[in-house]
Amino acid sequence: MSDFLVALALVLVIEGLMFAAFPGPTKRLMTSAMETPDGQMRVIGIVCAIAGVIFVWLIRG
């Protein structure tokens, strides 16, 4: 459970840094995401989730 909370905290850190360091591009990225079709967003999400699981599996062995 603590690993999950650490991972969640790191997501918040990375997102916070994106908004703090690059507010303009982050807004444009969010606008672009709103215009992307749902099906394409689902595919991107699934691919990212699978890549994340593979990375964790490789790192944790």
DSSP calls for 17-47:
HHHHH-HHHHHHHHHHHHHS-HHHHHHHHHH
Instruction: Report the distance separating Cα 31 and Cα 20, nearest Å.
Output: 17
**Per-domain residue ranges for the chain?**
2-60
Residue 2: the pLDDT is: 87
Residue 6: the pLDDT is: 93
Residue 1: the pLDDT is: 86
Residue 9: the pLDDT is: 96
Do 18 and 11 contact (CB within 8 A), yes or no?
no
pTM: 0.71
Instruction: Report the distance separating Cα 35 and Cα 16, nearest Å.
Output: 23
pLDDT tens for the chain, 61 residues long, are 888 999 999 999 999 999 999 999 999 999 999 999 999 999 999 999 999 999 989 998 8
